[in-house]
Structure 1
Amino acid sequence: MDKPAEMFDRSYEWSALTRFITDDQPGATLGVVSGRRRQGKTFLLDAACRAAGGFYFGATEATDPESLRRISTALTAHSRPASPYHFADWSEAVDALLALGAERPLPVVIDEFPYLAKANPELPSIIQEAMRPLREQRTSSRTRLLLCGSALSFMGKLLSGNAPLRGRAGLELLVRPLDHRLAAEFWDITDPRLALMVHAIVGGTPAYRREFARGDSPSGPDDFDDWVVRTVLNPETPLFREARYLLAEEPELRDTALYLSVLGAVADGNATRGGMASYLERRAADIAHPINVLEDAGLLYRDADVFRENRPTYRIAEPLIGFYHAIMRPVWDQLERPGSAARVWQASRRRFVSNVLGPHFEQVCRDWALHHADPDLLGGLPARVGHGVVHDPKARTGHEIDVAVIGVADGSGKPPLLAIGEAKWNDSMGAAHIDRLRDLRTLITDAGRYDTSRTQLLCFSGAGFNTKARAVAEASPDVRLVDAAMLYGMRAEA
């Protein structure tokens, strides 16, 4: 299967689908494709069906009888049988889909599967029965049935625990947003600072450039403010209300006001459960459920403190939602009035840097250490990368570490702490930042939890480094300076 020329990247996803669809082994097989909305899942699966001559069906929110009528009509148009299909139930429909692959491997896609399962909760069990081993309709078919959905809370449970389809799937593919490097390439941005500022707002969701911003990309750093005003803060564009719609489209989020408040608390810097509870003036136990639901929906991430496992922090997974809560939601009435965007943005610029851009820069630094940094630079392959608070028993205070890189433990020894780092977006870093990291490394060594014999010191800066910092780095093999160009692979690693 040749990947469409107009498809940006997605080489990994296309290869996985190609292997699954063209597998010539006998017997129908099941695959599950999931991912947050606007990531291009429909485009990907529709293109795969077109390339292999398969059948694609996009479900809608409808009653069960209506959905059966719709798939009957769609399959009739696709197969052109002697008489039109009129399925009485989903067992008949699924067997008809399996029959499509009687002669060769053939992709059959049911997109937005959660809509069908919501109208008919028995549908996963029906598919389980249809895909039962030794069942003639399955063994005589080579249909590659792909169930796709954007409701991550539902799709995550489809193959887990005691779910009917557990153990039935031969493919489980998650379509993720583009990472910061691919997003810069997709938006056609070559300035690393500008790329990171854009990524802090729209993340790596492809639809936000092509459909939602109509291809409008900032022409350079001087155009960034105007771009924000004419796209995401412009009531005429779909981006303006997208963050609200993302929450409304999640089926598990019933009390929208409470979930909005939880996300608003995180956007305002209250990253712990206690902080969120205090912000909302509720008990911590009262917000446990909404936090879990937001996690299941892929809208909230839980990050464990690498130095104190029982003190996790939370961050908003979708940058656009974080931007909405930090910048747009507090002044929504003003933004809805035409012509107010420029004035609101001018007054919100400082808040954007502190509440949105700073934390996002730290996360990009952690992603770089985990996925892009040369293991030789770190002294080993990272097992996980996080952040945490180091306790100073003498001063009776805690010190935050923005980036902590944990390696793979060797046998029964302590896990190696490959690196610790500090990230500053708008500050030019100097020797004092390096001295602080050295002191923190000593505190970690004294705590005795990690092996710090080869711990590197990483300084991340979006504004660069002064001459003293560069001199220390040149003289110290354990000090690394990482700027925005290195984060984006636009300059070789030092």
Structure 2
Amino acid sequence: MVYRPLLDLPKPADMFDRSWEWSELTAFVADEGPEATMAVVSGRRRQGKSFLLDSLARATDGFYFCAYEATEAESLRRFGEELGQYCGSLAPMRFDRWEQAVDALLELGRERPVPVVLDEFPYLARATPSLPSIIQVAYGPRRPERLRSRTRLLLCGSSLSFMGKLLSGTSPLRGRAGLELVVQPLDFRQAAAFWGLGDPRLAVLVHSVVGGTPAYRREFVRDDTPAGLDDFDAWVCRTALSPRSPLYREARYLLADEADLRDRALYHSVLAALASGNATAGRIAACLERPVSDITHPLTVLQDCGLVRKEADAFRRNRSVYRVGEPLIAFDHAVSRPRLALLDRGLAEQVWESARPRFLSAVVGPHFEQICRDWVAHFAAPETFGGMPIDVSYGTVADPVERTGHEIDVVVRGAVGQDNGVLLSLGEAKWDRVMGTGHLERLKHAVSLLAARGTDTSAVRPACYSGAGFTDELKAAEKRGEVVLVDLERLYRGE
């Protein structure tokens, strides 16, 4: 077997982006340390983890093994066959226990750093619950087999609930990993480039359906991308709403991938309540006509799976809201699930005609607000708000006179000089509405309410985010330095 140097390993030409993940992985496997090391790679299914790790193994002459649901005996048999082929053995290797198999992996690294990938590790661990403990023992700090091996073991899995617990709490592998890498979906700018969408408005609409999951373009819709805004409605009907398309059932399969989800009907109902605009635990419970205690555990599990995210109110830390974390699930519950019987009969156009207004208000509107928060967190230049954004969230400003609360879509705190946590901006986001001075006045009123409560608002810059544009009066206010305006062009191409 020919040894290829691991330093400065070029990223495969057919890999879109993932430059940071590739650099982290190559740095891990190129480590010239004298002892065996271990990494944990996780992320929701369809994000390209297997492609990334298989490419790494191929580029470095490493060993890649992808497990599937099977008994311990069958998994060991397959593992022995593939390891034998990798080593050039005339006959398959035979292992009766995983202790022997893990030691065989350590032997691979006797001469050089060798990447070893165990993909879909949760399948192996469910068939052999003691496997994490077996690896813990094999990677003992003073174990001779580990000290004389330079095997770079990478454990990978798509079950976030399982992988998240692998290195936490009392897990046997806690403290053993030298790298913990989570492969995230592509951000909204990367997704637009990946789908080849030059029109920012179309990019937001497509992202509101499929998010940043790479596999949805390649494997699920076979590179069928909307030709333009005029083609978006037809594209939705022939992909996400077509029973012939794998994308049609994908949202339901995302839950099926998580073995920790027992009562799937309850989890679907929680997601449906969230997609309907019920963002607090109390409102979700009321929608399902259950006590709050019944939905606490499902919400926690859905957060562990990455399907729901919890956000604390910037001004009321004891109040939190929940949001669907996967756009395709929000789309499915808002558009598809209520009309499954009609969709199964091939009536996508009729369903979409009636559901499109709900899609724009219940799916695209909230998703656009999240895109605006992501823009501030990852793309906005420090001078945009007079400081480096550190925390970007939503908030509710109480109005004691009117006895109401003003919801603020984008709350920015950041660093100004030596001070961290300075309130830099309050922003409002409107997807389908031309914004005017009335929106600015509302933001200024919220600033005055905060100032009356003793909050330092001296650095606050009001901001308006719009997918439909701004009035001339508001543009004039921007020129006077009274407001920051962010349109679709700036979201996708500016700072």
Query: What is the TM-score when the length of structure 2 is the normalising length?
Result: 0.97
CA-CA distance at 1:82 after TM superposition: 5.6
Other structure's SS at 1:313 match: strand
**Is 1:431 aligned with 2:437?**
yes
Give the aligned partner of residue 490 of structure 2: 486
**Is 1:163 aligned with 2:171?**
yes
Give the aligned partner of residue 334 of structure 2: 326
Give the aligned partner of residue 227 of structure 1: 235
Aligned-partner Cα distance in 2 for 1:161–1:46 = 30
Give the aligned partner of residue 305 of structure 2: 297
Contact 2:414/2:420 (<8 A) preserved: no
Contact 2:388/2:416 (<8 A) preserved: no
CA-CA distance at 1:414 after TM superposition: 8.3
Other structure's SS at 2:220 match: coil
CA-CA distance at 1:451 after TM superposition: 2.2
**Which of 92, 96, 108 is 1:100 aligned to?**
108
CA-CA distance at 1:80 after TM superposition: 2.1
C-alpha offsets along residues 388-441 of structure 1, whole Å, 9 cap, x if unaligned? Answer: 110011111111100000124887x78311111000000000111111111111
Matched-pair identity in %? 58
Q: Which amino acid is the alignment partner of residue 137 of structure 2?
A: E
Give the aligned partner of residue 388 of structure 2: 381
CA-CA distance at 1:380 after TM superposition: 1.0
**Which of 341, 345, 349 is 1:342 aligned to?**
349
**Which of 119, 127, 132 is 2:140 aligned to?**
132
Contact 1:457/1:478 (<8 A) preserved: yes
Contact 1:408/1:416 (<8 A) preserved: yes
Q: Which amino acid is the alignment partner of residue 392 of structure 1?
A: D
Contact 1:415/1:451 (<8 A) preserved: no
CA RMSD of aligned residues (A): 1.2
After the TM superposition, which residues 269-288 of structure 1 pair with which residues of structure 2 at under 5 Å, given as runs? Answer: 269-288=277-296
After the TM superposition, which residues 40-59 of structure 1 pair with which residues of structure 2 at under 5 Å, given as runs? Answer: 40-59=48-67
Aligned-partner Cα distance in 1 for 2:417–2:316 = 21
Q: Which amino acid is the alignment partner of residue 164 of structure 2?
A: G
Contact 1:64/1:120 (<8 A) preserved: yes
Contact 1:455/1:478 (<8 A) preserved: no
Aligned-partner Cα distance in 1 for 2:149–2:80 = 20
CA-CA distance at 1:126 after TM superposition: 0.3
Q: Which runs of 5+ in 2 are unaligned?
A: 1-8
Aligned-partner Cα distance in 1 for 2:476–2:193 = 33
Contact 2:31/2:113 (<8 A) preserved: yes
Aligned-partner Cα distance in 1 for 2:456–2:102 = 56
Aligned-partner Cα distance in 2 for 1:57–1:222 = 45
Other structure's SS at 1:275 match: helix
**Is 1:421 aligned with 2:427?**
yes
**Is 1:121 aligned with 2:129?**
yes
Aligned-partner Cα distance in 1 for 2:90–2:362 = 63
Q: Which amino acid is the alignment partner of residue 55 of structure 1?
A: F
Contact 1:381/1:407 (<8 A) preserved: yes
C-alpha offsets along residues 155-207 of structure 1, whole Å, 9 cap, x if unaligned? Answer: 01111112111111011111000000000000000000000000000000000
CA-CA distance at 1:25 after TM superposition: 1.2
**Which of 395, 401, 414 is 2:402 aligned to?**
395
Aligned-partner Cα distance in 1 for 2:90–2:482 = 74
Other structure's SS at 2:197 match: coil
**Which of 372, 394, 406 is 2:379 aligned to?**
372
**Is 1:35 aligned with 2:43?**
yes
C-alpha offsets along residues 328-370 of structure 1, whole Å, 9 cap, x if unaligned? Answer: 01111111112x0011101111000110000000000011111
**Which of 124, 134, 150 is 2:158 aligned to?**
150
Aligned-partner Cα distance in 1 for 2:323–2:377 = 18
Give the aligned partner of residue 3 of structure 2: none
Give the aligned partner of residue 472 of structure 1: 477
Give the number of equivalent residue pairs: 487
Give the aligned partner of residue 6 of structure 2: none
Q: Which moved more, 1:420-429 or 1:134-143?
A: 134-143
**Is 1:208 aligned with 2:216?**
yes
Other structure's SS at 1:216 match: coil
**Which of 236, 239, 263 is 2:244 aligned to?**
236
CA-CA distance at 1:279 after TM superposition: 0.4
Aligned-partner Cα distance in 2 for 1:160–1:398 = 39
Contact 1:414/1:451 (<8 A) preserved: no
C-alpha offsets along residues 291-343 of structure 1, whole Å, 9 cap, x if unaligned? Answer: 111111111000101011111000111100110001001111111112x0011
Q: Which runs of 5+ in 1 are unaligned?
A: none
Contact 1:421/1:437 (<8 A) preserved: yes
Aligned-partner Cα distance in 1 for 2:289–2:376 = 37
Aligned-partner Cα distance in 2 for 1:441–1:414 = 19
CA-CA distance at 1:383 after TM superposition: 1.8
Q: Which amino acid is the alignment partner of residue 372 of structure 2?
A: C
